[in-house]
Amino acid sequence: MKNKHLVLLFLSVLAAGLLARRSPWFKANIFQTDLIAVDTSAITQVSIFQSGQPELLLERTEAGWAAVQEMRAATVQPEHIAPILEMLSAVRSIRIVKTTRPDTLGFSEKTRLQVVVFQGKKTLDQFEIGYQTYENDQPATFIRLNRHEGIYLVEQFIRNVFSKKLDDFRENTVARFAPPQVRAFELERRDSMPVFFQKNDSTAQWDISGRPASVPDDSVQTWLQMFARLNGNPFADNFDDSRARETFFTGIKLYLSNGDSLIFKVFYVKPPDLPEEISSAGLTSLPVYVLHSSQNPSNYFAPKDTALLRRVCGPNLRKLH
């Protein structure tokens, strides 16, 4: 092919591209801009609505961010609120989506996710999130904004960031300590006096206060290592802490080498009848044992592995004394 033919071919392709960009069809579909760009320093609240769940409210307080849902609250750690604020600061659109069936894109009553952003009582932004997909092998999400007509495909997986519930922000850690840090501990049973154990470094034994007996250190270390296995259990939100005194079963207090102390309490709470409000919620039972830790004072837990719990506060402890 001669050089002049190559030049003509290049010019033809260039002209076709320019015409396409100027055509009404191209303009009607390509819309690349920062579709959501909120000044995150001005945000005071973010409300998230999902089908089948109560409203989740994220609120900026003097102490940081907090999450509230159905009269329960949890502190939101900076690493958990950061992705949400980052997403609200810059969501870039890819194109406008033409459809007569928005439900197929995730905007039905049962599938859409709604987000409202506030500064005080002023609404800064409001949008709905549909399904996530891929565009040119890149993650993308369908969204619909109140201040714009139509549906847009935007960059990134947006739904994953906002699809949250209160438990996503709650810390489900019961115990975090290194067993060698424990220098003494105290065991308390419901109907007996507390028993105090202290490590004797010269004998590598744990002396029992007021008794001539002692316990080998390796036995105590094995027992202390079990506490970490209590992490990650579900929350016991239906536990009535006004019954703590009457349902108290076992108490364990650990004294650490740095002067701190940790307190763990186990409650035996199997009720003869379910409260009416719990029955109406469709629950058929309550946990038999509930666990509380001073390292996570805002929460109570319902350990799934009750055999492990009994080994921590029951038979194993009896062997120790």
Local confidence band at 282 (pLDDT 50, 70, 90 cut-offs): very low
What the block records as the tokens of 105 is: 């894109």
Most confident of 32-46, 106-120, 213-227: 106-120
- Among the candidates 133, 168, 203, a domain finishes at 168
Tell me the residue range of the domain where 62 lies.
29-168
85 and 163 share a domain? yes
* Model confidence pLDDT, tens digit, residues 114-168: 999 999 999 999 999 999 999 999 999 999 987 767 899 999 999 999 999 998 9
Return the pLDDT at 31: 57
65 and 128 share a domain? yes
Q: Computed over its alpha carbons, how large is the radius of gyration of the chain?
A: 30
Of 194, 191, 188, the residue nearest 211 (C-alpha): 194
Residue 11 lies in a domain: no
The yes-or-no verdict on residue 272 having pLDDT over 60 is no
Looking at residue 227, what DSSP letter applies?
Answer: G
- Residues 180 and 37: their CA atoms lie apart, in Å, by 50
- Our count of domains for the chain comes to 2
* Model confidence pLDDT, tens digit, residues 108-118: 999 999 999 99
137 and 235 share a domain? no
Distance of alpha carbon 261 from the chain centroid: 27
51 and 146 share a domain? yes
Residue 71 lies in a domain: yes
Q: What is the pTM of this model?
A: 0.68
204 and 312 share a domain? yes
Local confidence band at 190 (pLDDT 50, 70, 90 cut-offs): confident
- Among the candidates 168, 197, 222, a domain finishes at 168
Of 132, 135, 151, the residue nearest 143 (C-alpha): 151
Within the chain, strands assigned E span 34-36, 45-50, 56-61, 64-69, 72-76, 91-97, 113-119, 122-135, 138-145, 151-155, 182-189, 195-200, 205-208, 214-216, 248-256, 261-268, 289-293, 300-301
Local confidence band at 270 (pLDDT 50, 70, 90 cut-offs): confident
